[in-house]
Chain A
């Protein structure tokens, strides 16, 4: 088969977004400590999050599981304002920073308890070998830098638990990988390898990207 139909790997939530973290607002309006779970539950419905992510953020065919939240609150706010995947942007007129803070608290409150697999310790050297052997590089690049076929995942900005959930039941174009194919320990090793990679420079600091 010589078809070149392009695989448009689009994720509801990109797995590598340290830039989003770096640009996140630091205002206290995003402080989960002052957030209301009850308000968050209401805002989760009124802002339309449930349509893609399910009533308790458990995920659907259209959106990934987001309970517990895969990003820190500031990064999540940045992402919601300016998403890079399939998700449309949500401005402050639709859902305020305070409401996102409430939603964050709600998602933490309804999150299932962490599994034993989520606390595994990984081996970076083995992860590097597995990243190549398992063909992760095919869509994400040999250093996880991302491409049109898959987002940047090196270094990942989301938790290992979120990666584990996504790989087993992805919502985008990525196929699901069972534990028979990639074990939890393998994934922990790959995650540790990706975490060891240096984050990219800023475009402003690269002259070739300013021409």
Chain B
């Protein structure tokens, strides 16, 4: 089994120990030499999977996660769902005592199942429970291929203890199959030609992106497509799709761009419906089209190739005019070629004029963002715009990588920083499951470590409290990561939701904080981190103290260790 797993070239194994995979654990660290994969000691199965989630978005391939039977998988399940929604491959080996006659202790029974993967089957792409070593070998290779073929998702392979612990029979004819990666699905050539025709003929084409750039090629391809057409890109930021300071990045003026569009192409756009419809009002919401009548809608997404029933991450049905079931990144080269073939000199002039206007609008939108950032500049608690600007001042000349979701800090980094490399941003949770942030950041930092990148996470306080043990993992394995706490002392999203409900029910709005805030006592994240061996400072409430603290923390990170700066912040 170790030989099979080594053939898949997993760089790391993330796990906390569990007796249902004790034999595989022992074999990996002794027979396998604890190399490729190297065991990363985790403190929660949710952390193990989320680390794999963050790692894969930087490295472009999965790491191995071992999960203990039943209770371990129950712990892991939310993180698996996040990775599923985010279309990220995580490779899970699940321990189990399959043969009831082989269960000799109470725990062997309570942590085993007839069908161990049943509880996650709705949100993994594939699972299997091989009953022989040769079966394990083939299923393991098959699982890797399935996980890494778009749409990418987690896979789970049950490893019953009989397979793990019993000696290989004399004369057994075992082999490890060659893994041949599946080329990603590319759009039908006729449909791609039609999309190109629509885009070239359009007066106001718009490209809307979400999880397009799986690799640096996706980022480069999207830039080429946008520049060829001089078309604006509205980035939903599921990945690092398009440079934030590119004149064709019009994310900050999405409303007018959508309203003015005559062709909209969604590229791996998870929620097309909300892009072309407007929902206003928390109470009795009003839905209106956000596009002009007759606007052509085109979707290119691998999500059309694989959809599940029970968990409804697929969003509301979008009535597009043309749907191409294909991986958008893999389709970009043929789409660019088709566009170039159809462009006439006349259209080139039109595109150039459009590009000039778009560049002006981009500059104005960026300036509007900077002006908005001035609000509450010297406030205490510290504004998230100020905190983001202070971080940027310290990292802008480094080879940096931001590995946390910007939504919770009003997207300030995306509005103020210069994102232009594929590892500059990795999007968010996928399934909006709290507890993803800290371990995914450590996993991404683990991937960045060998590249020498300065990894930064703006860490939500509520998220860290779900499984803070990952701080110890970062310290123990010397994973360099700058953690800047966005400490608003609340589960703030829910605080707003409760406030809205209190208002809707007309019951007064002074009790909304009950159950939603993290005060009395306030949590000292500096001490929490220090207790796990992480350099930490704070809490910092005066914005003037931020820059020196961040500089000191970066010095620690450059020395190869994690560091945390606790910042008391405005809510968003």
A and B, one complex? yes
Give me the interface of A with B, judged by CB distance under 8 Å. Answer: 1-7, 10, 16, 19, 61-62, 82, 84-86, 88-89, 133-135, 137-139, 141-143, 145-149, 152, 154, 170-178, 180-182, 200-203, 206, 208-211
The stretch among B89-97, B210-218, B426-434, B531-539 that forms the contact with chain A is B426-434
Closest CB of chain B to A157's CB: distance in Å?
A: 13
B390 at the interface (CB under 8 A from A): yes
Give the distance in Å from the alpha carbon of A203 to the alpha carbon of B537 in the complex: 29
Closest CB of chain A to B235's CB: distance in Å?
A: 15
Give me the interface of B with A, judged by CB distance under 8 Å. Answer: 255-256, 259-260, 278, 280-283, 286, 288, 364, 367-368, 370-377, 379, 381, 383-384, 386, 389-390, 392-393, 396, 407-408, 410-411, 416, 429, 432-434, 491-497, 499-500, 503-504, 506, 508-510, 512-513, 570-572
Give the distance in Å from the alpha carbon of A86 to the alpha carbon of B254 in the complex: 9
Give the distance in Å from the alpha carbon of A21 to the alpha carbon of B491 in the complex: 36
> Does A175 contact B571, Cβ atoms closer than 8 Å?
no
> Does A88 contact B370, Cβ atoms closer than 8 Å?
no
Known contacts being A5-B432, A88-B256, is A148 close to B410, with CB within 8 Å? Answer: yes
Which residue of B has the minimal Cβ distance to A148? B410
If A152-B372, A171-B280 are given as contacts, then 5 extra A-B residue pairs at C-beta distance below 8 Å, sorted by A number, are A141-B571, A172-B281, A175-B282, A178-B506, A201-B377
Q: Can you list 21 A-B contacts with CB-CB less than 8 angstroms, sorted by A residue number?
A: A3-B493, A4-B407, A10-B280, A16-B375, A135-B512, A142-B379, A142-B571, A145-B379, A148-B410, A149-B410, A149-B571, A172-B281, A173-B282, A175-B500, A176-B503, A180-B506, A201-B377, A203-B367, A208-B393, A209-B373, A210-B370
> Does A203 contact B410, Cβ atoms closer than 8 Å?
no
Which residue of A has the minimal Cβ distance to B256? A88
> Does B503 contact A181, Cβ atoms closer than 8 Å?
yes
Closest CB of chain B to A186's CB: distance in Å?
A: 11
Give the distance in Å from the alpha carbon of A2 to the alpha carbon of B463 in the complex: 10
Residues of B within 8 A of A181 (CB): 503, 506, 508-509
> Does B396 contact A175, Cβ atoms closer than 8 Å?
no
Closest CB of chain B to A64's CB: distance in Å?
A: 11
> Does A206 contact B374, Cβ atoms closer than 8 Å?
yes
Residues of A within 8 A of B429 (CB): 4
> Does B509 contact A134, Cβ atoms closer than 8 Å?
yes
Residues of B within 8 A of A176 (CB): 283, 503
Give the distance in Å from the alpha carbon of A141 to the alpha carbon of B256 in the complex: 26
Residues of A within 8 A of B500 (CB): 175
> Does B432 contact A3, Cβ atoms closer than 8 Å?
yes
Known contacts being A82-B364, A86-B278, A173-B282, is A203 close to B371, with CB within 8 Å? Answer: yes
Closest CB of chain A to B499's CB: distance in Å?
A: 5
Highest count of chain B CB atoms <10 Å: which of A10, A85, A89:
A89
Q: Which of B286, B389, B496 contacts A61 (CB 8 A)?
A: B286
Residues of B within 8 A of A201 (CB): 374, 377
> Does A134 contact B510, Cβ atoms closer than 8 Å?
yes
Give the distance in Å from the alpha carbon of A139 to the alpha carbon of B495 in the complex: 10
Which residue of B has the minimal Cβ distance to A87? B255
> Does A172 contact B506, Cβ atoms closer than 8 Å?
no
Known contacts being A173-B280, A202-B374, is A148 close to B496, with CB within 8 Å? Answer: no
Give the distance in Å from the alpha carbon of A202 to the alpha carbon of B416 in the complex: 15
> Does B288 contact A88, Cβ atoms closer than 8 Å?
no
Known contacts being A145-B376, A175-B283, is A135 close to B381, with CB within 8 Å? Answer: no
> Does A148 contact B572, Cβ atoms closer than 8 Å?
yes
> Does A209 contact B416, Cβ atoms closer than 8 Å?
yes
Give the distance in Å from the alpha carbon of A171 to the alpha carbon of B288 in the complex: 13
Residues of A within 8 A of B407 (CB): 4, 6, 148
Closest CB of chain A to B535's CB: distance in Å?
A: 24
Highest count of chain A CB atoms <10 Å: which of B372, B389, B390, B433:
B372
Residues of B within 8 A of A146 (CB): 372, 375-376
Q: Which of B281, B370, B570 contacts A203 (CB 8 A)?
A: B370
Closest CB of chain A to B379's CB: distance in Å?
A: 5
Residues of B within 8 A of A5 (CB): 432, 493
Q: Which of B255, B375, B434, B513 contacts A86 (CB 8 A)?
A: B255
Which residue of B has the minimal Cβ distance to A141? B570
> Does A209 contact B374, Cβ atoms closer than 8 Å?
yes
Give the distance in Å from the alpha carbon of A1 to the alpha carbon of B82 in the complex: 16
Residues of B within 8 A of A182 (CB): 509
Residues of A within 8 A of B381 (CB): 142
Highest count of chain A CB atoms <10 Å: which of B364, B376, B379, B506:
B376
> Does A138 contact B496, Cβ atoms closer than 8 Å?
yes
Known contacts being A147-B410, A176-B283, is A4 close to B255, with CB within 8 Å? Answer: no
> Does B280 contact A172, Cβ atoms closer than 8 Å?
yes
> Does A62 contact B282, Cβ atoms closer than 8 Å?
no
Highest count of chain B CB atoms <10 Å: which of A2, A86, A139, A210:
A2
Residues of A within 8 A of B497 (CB): 1, 3
Residues of B within 8 A of A2 (CB): 432-434, 491, 494
Give the distance in Å from the alpha carbon of A89 to the alpha carbon of B495 in the complex: 33
> Does A4 contact B372, Cβ atoms closer than 8 Å?
no
> Does B390 contact A19, Cβ atoms closer than 8 Å?
no
Residues of A within 8 A of B396 (CB): 211
> Does A62 contact B286, Cβ atoms closer than 8 Å?
yes
Q: Which of A7, A138, A209 contacts B389 (CB 8 A)?
A: A209
> Does B434 contact A4, Cβ atoms closer than 8 Å?
yes
Which residue of A has the minimal Cβ distance to B282? A175
Closest CB of chain A to B121's CB: distance in Å?
A: 22
Residues of A within 8 A of B492 (CB): 138
Give the distance in Å from the alpha carbon of A121 to the alpha carbon of B448 in the complex: 58
Give the distance in Å from the alpha carbon of A141 to the alpha carbon of B374 in the complex: 13
Residues of B within 8 A of A177 (CB): 503, 509
Q: Which of B282, B393, B493 contacts A211 (CB 8 A)?
A: B393
Closest CB of chain B to A92's CB: distance in Å?
A: 15
Residues of B within 8 A of A208 (CB): 386, 389-390, 392-393
Which residue of A has the minimal Cβ distance to B407? A6
> Does B280 contact A61, Cβ atoms closer than 8 Å?
yes
Closest CB of chain A to B410's CB: distance in Å?
A: 4
Give the distance in Å from the alpha carbon of A16 to the alpha carbon of B375 in the complex: 10
Give the distance in Å from the alpha carbon of A154 to the alpha carbon of B361 in the complex: 27
Give the distance in Å from the alpha carbon of A138 to the alpha carbon of B494 in the complex: 10
Give the distance in Å from the alpha carbon of A18 to the alpha carbon of B493 in the complex: 28
Residues of A within 8 A of B392 (CB): 208, 211
Which residue of B has the minimal Cβ distance to A151? B372
Give the distance in Å from the alpha carbon of A210 to the alpha carbon of B370 in the complex: 8
> Does A148 contact B377, Cβ atoms closer than 8 Å?
no
